């Protein structure tokens, strides 16, 4: 197992690291040969619901959280820790939006070893989502077809819950905010008001806000991926004078010139960074029945996301902090995004296909890759191959 090689880099606790690497390798094997085949016998929607429920039960036990952390999480502050936008990240690997829609799993995500997590997307009002099914698996493509339509309990319920819950230290929470998916928000004015009401409701409950302007499968489409309309939305966000850093979640299907037009708007506002990118809408060359609606996660997002990260970094440097998302299944995938310009990376589909130990595996191998290239800390690698 490649991750075992990292023990050579450890200045202390080499035996412990060897043991952790072996345990992660064993967990990956069990996930691949036992857990995944069992889960994949059931529809993805019900597996997702059961996984969230099970996670909520498991995370209640401090003992189980500690066990999970000892088994899977990997920590190396020297190489992986960094401060971004006034926040401390113990490692660059985060959960991307869409898995924990109601933000119920921060303690578990911290135990698994994520350096940050994105909850949501949440919306101002409760949203039931699109008619089921929301998800389809495409195992040969390492992808999911997603057509959830932003189901969530709504910002009032979720912020109340966040206020009442004890959040784990050391896990910055990004809250993804989208426009409520119904007819009432279909006009641009109503859509902007809906976003702003949600942000006001959220207050200081998030460490970072991610404005999801690029959810492809919702009522009224994606009006705010058009520069003039995005400008109006961001003017409204400016007026709120938020102290929380705001990122914009970008679409993956624009060519560079159109993408750049959005970035040119974004840099004129109080926006800290961009998350690149959302789901892949281009289904060309992918064998899916036309009756299955939705857009693609995982591997089909990888190339466009890498390309847009690289071009964004070349053009804007660190004026826009980049969270690189799309098709991360290994440390090499994460490292490529970092070298192209991402300061942080996020994933969803990778843990579904490869298991939760993947987070620790990526962090462990990242240290090896950074050291091989002569970098002392991840900050030195960001944009080194842009
Ligand atoms: C099951 C699922 C649900 C998702 N829901 C959301 C969402 O609510 N909001 C959002 O911004 N992105 C959502 N996404 C997109 C992901 O955040 C991410 O941008 C995309 O899947 C690419 O990353 P991945 O290849 O690691 O999955 C979802 C993705 C998946 C797989």
Give the CA radius of gyration of the chain.
Answer: 20
Q: What's the gap in Å between 385 CA and the centre of ligand 1?
A: 26
Q: Please say whether the beta carbons of 274 and 322 come within 8 A.
A: yes
Q: Does 128 fall in a domain?
A: yes
Q: Please state the separation of Cα 223 from the chain's center in Å.
A: 22
Q: Does 60 fall in a domain?
A: yes
- In this predicted structure, what is the pLDDT of residue 218? 75
Measured between alpha carbons, how far is 252 from 266 in angstroms, rounded to an integer? Answer: 16
Ligand 1 contact, 144 CB (< 6 A)? yes
Confidence band, pLDDT 50/70/90 cuts, at residue 15 = confident
Measured between alpha carbons, how far is 360 from 74 in angstroms, rounded to an integer? Answer: 5
Q: Could you identify the atom of ligand 1 that is nearest to the CA of residue 214?
A: 11
What is the pTM assigned to this prediction? Answer: 0.96
140 class by beta-carbon count within 10 Å (0-12 exposed, 13-18 middle, 19+ buried):
exposed
Q: Does 21 fall in a domain?
A: yes
Q: Please say whether the beta carbons of 185 and 191 come within 8 A.
A: yes
Ligand 1 contact, 125 CB (< 6 A)? no
Measured between alpha carbons, how far is 344 from 324 in angstroms, rounded to an integer? Answer: 6
Q: What's the gap in Å between 253 CA and the centre of ligand 1?
A: 15
Ligand 1 contact, 250 CB (< 6 A)? no
Domain that holds residue 262: 2-381
Q: Does 386 fall in a domain?
A: no
Q: Could you identify the atom of ligand 1 that is nearest to the CA of residue 279?
A: 20
Q: Which domain CATH number covers 333?
A: 3.20.20.70
For 28, the 3-state DSSP assignment is helix
* Each residue's pLDDT tens digit, 178-228: 999 888 888 899 999 999 999 999 999 999 999 999 886 677 778 899 999
- The helices-and-strands tally (H runs, E runs) of the chain is 15, 13
Q: Does 119 fall in a domain?
A: yes
Domain count of the fold of the chain: 1
Ligand 1 contact, 74 CB (< 6 A)? no
Q: Does 83 fall in a domain?
A: yes
Give the Cα-Cα-Cα angle 283, 213, 300 (nearest 5 degrees).
25
Measured between alpha carbons, how far is 274 from 179 in angstroms, rounded to an integer? Answer: 18
Q: What's the gap in Å between 20 CA and the centre of ligand 1?
A: 29
Measured between alpha carbons, how far is 58 from 66 in angstroms, rounded to an integer? Answer: 11
* pLDDT at 5 exceeding the cut of 60: no
* Each residue's pLDDT tens digit, 90-142: 999 999 999 999 999 999 999 999 999 999 999 999 999 999 999 999 999 99
């Amino acid at each position: 197992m490649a991750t075992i090689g990292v023990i050579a880099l450890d200045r202390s606790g080499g035996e412990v690291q060897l043991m952790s690497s072996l345990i992660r390798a064993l967990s990956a094997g069990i996930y691949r040969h036992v857990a995944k085949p069992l889960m994949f016998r059931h529809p993805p929607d019900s597996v997702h619901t059961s996984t969230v429920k099970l996670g909520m039960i498991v995370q209640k036990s401090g003992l189980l959280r500690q066990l999970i952390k000892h088994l899977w999480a990997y920590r190396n502050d020297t190489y992986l820790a960094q401060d971004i936008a006034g926040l401390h990240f113990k490692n660059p690997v985060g959960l991307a939006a869409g898995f924990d829609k109601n933000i119920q799993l921060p303690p578990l995500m911290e135990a698994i070893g994520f350096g940050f997590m994105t909850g949501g997307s949440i919306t101002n009002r409760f949203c039931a989502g699109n008619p089921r099914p929301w998800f389809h698996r495409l195992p040969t493509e390492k992808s999911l077809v997603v057509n959830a339509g932003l189901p969530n309990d709504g910002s009032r319920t979720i912020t109340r819950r966040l206020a009442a819950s004890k959040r784990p230290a050391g896990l910055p929470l990004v809250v993804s905010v989208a426009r409520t998916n119904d007819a009432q928000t279909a006009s641009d004015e109503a859509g902007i008001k809906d976003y702003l009401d949600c942000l006001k409701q959220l207050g200081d409950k998030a460490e970072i806000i991610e404005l999801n302007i690029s959810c492809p499968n919702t009522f009224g489409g994606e009006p705010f991926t058009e520069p003039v309309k995005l400008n109006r939305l961001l003017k409204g966000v400016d007026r709120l004078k938020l102290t929380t850093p705001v990122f914009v979640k970008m679409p993956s299907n624009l060519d560079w010139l159109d993408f750049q037009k959005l970035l040119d708007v974004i840099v004129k506002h109080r926006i800290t960074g961009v998350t690149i990118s959302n789901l892949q809408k281009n289904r060309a060359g992918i064998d899916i029945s036309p009756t299955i609606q939705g857009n693609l996660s995982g591997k089909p997002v990888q190339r466009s996301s890498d390309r847009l990260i690289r071009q964004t970094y070349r053009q804007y440097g660190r004026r826009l902090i980049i969270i690189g998302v799309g098709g991360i299944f290994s440390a090499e995938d994460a490292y490529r995004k970092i070298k192209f310009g991402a300061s942080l990376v996020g994933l969803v589909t990778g843990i579904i296909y490869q298991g939760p130990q993947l987070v620790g595996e990526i962090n462990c191998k990242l240290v090896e890759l950074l050291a091989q290239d002569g970098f002392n800390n991840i900050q030195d690698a960001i944009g080194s191959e842009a």
